[in-house]
Amino acid sequence: MRVESNLPQHLAQGLFSNGGKEYPLAIRYANEPSFLQDDKAPGPRGCGMKVFDVDGPGGFLDSAGEQTHTQDFTFNNAPLLELKDLPNTLEIFSLREQWFHNPETLKLKLLDREDKDLELAPTTLPNHHFMGYTMYSQSAYRYGDYIANAGSNREQHSIWLREYFQSHDAEFDFRIQLCRNLADQSVEDCSIPWDEEKYPFETVAKVTLPKGQDVFDSKRRAFWDDHMKLNVWYGLEAHRPLGSVNRLRKSLYQASVKKRADLNAAEVKLMSQIP
């Protein structure tokens, strides 16, 4: 990741406060559904990003960040989050847990809800090449002295990704959509996307993924599955996650990290640790 030079003050915040600075990073693409699904089926696609060698004003959110000097971001190809707030999230996760082994029944249960259009919105997303998606943070974060959303512009998906990176670089704009009107840009309700016409995204960095790498190398995949932890609460205070959904994530991620640490604890501090 290379931070854009000569950013105006409102964009030169936190991780992006030093124009021209370059950070090594690792990215993982994934289907979001927790159950096995044909890659040809439409649905939400995710992207997790871990940025290394991070430092910035205000320090880190927790001791993990102090140790690893990393900043984690998570993205999705849907601009809104159907889990709009804390009460709604608890309701939907109760249904997902109850019908985890029966996705068709879960869909019927969601169709019975008054907010069915919102809850089933992810299933209407277009299905095309991962490299063609615009990715969104879906929830608000601190952006130094401001509040912002983040975005990245730009068994079939596995084939597409492997073939693409064998011969092509990929470059993305890392963009920020600043909150300029709290009455119009909700921080607590993630189901309401911020109007991109009224509040446009602004580019703060370029992310380049180099060609010539085997993105499905068995050692790399095993390393990520066993040792890499992505947590939006790992990072700088300048990019603190905001809203009730992110506060819930904090508790859930802590429990998940503890469970994984009991099985295969590892702190990944350097890009060179990744196969």
Angle between helices 244-264 and 86-98 (to 10 degrees): 50
Residue 127, pLDDT score = 74
Q: What is d(CA 258, CA 235) in angstroms, rounded to the nearest whole number?
A: 18
Segment 18-34, tens digit of pLDDT: 999 999 999 888 776 66
**Amino acid at position 127, single letter:** N
Give the Cβ contact number of residue 111 at 10 Å. Answer: 11
Segment 134-180, tens digit of pLDDT: 889 988 999 999 889 887 765 445 566 667 777 778 788 999 999 99
The three-state DSSP-derived secondary structure of 68-116 is HCCEEEEEECCCCCCCCCHHHHHHHHHHHHHCCCCHHHHHHHHHCCCCH
- pLDDT digit string (tens) for the chain, length 275 residues: 999 999 999 999 999 999 999 999 998 887 766 666 666 677 788 889 999 999 877 889 988 778 889 999 999 888 888 888 888 888 988 998 898 888 889 889 999 998 888 888 877 777 776 777 788 998 899 999 988 988 776 544 556 666 777 777 878 899 999 999 999 999 999 888 999 999 999 999 999 888 877 767 788 877 877 777 788 888 999 999 999 889 988 888 777 767 666 666 567 777 778 87
Q: What is d(CA 137, CA 97) in angstroms, rounded to the nearest whole number?
A: 24
Query: Token pair of 223, please?
Result: 């390393």
Phi first, then psi: what are they for 181, rounded to 5°? -155, 100
Strand (E) or helix (H) holding 53: none
Q: What is d(CA 143, CA 163) in angstroms, rounded to the nearest whole number?
A: 36
Q: Are 71 and 54 in contact (CB under 8 A)?
A: yes
Residue 185, pLDDT score = 95
Phi first, then psi: what are they for 151, rounded to 5°? -155, 155
CA gyration radius, the chain: 19
Residue 125, pLDDT score = 77
Q: What is d(CA 136, CA 214) in angstroms, rounded to the nearest whole number?
A: 26
* Domain-wise residue ranges, the chain: 2-273
Fold topology of 2-273? Catalase HpII,  Chain A, domain 1 (2.40.180)
Please report, for residues 18, 37, 44, 137, the alpha-carbon distance to residue 34 in angstroms, rounded to integers and kept in the order given: 38, 9, 11, 19
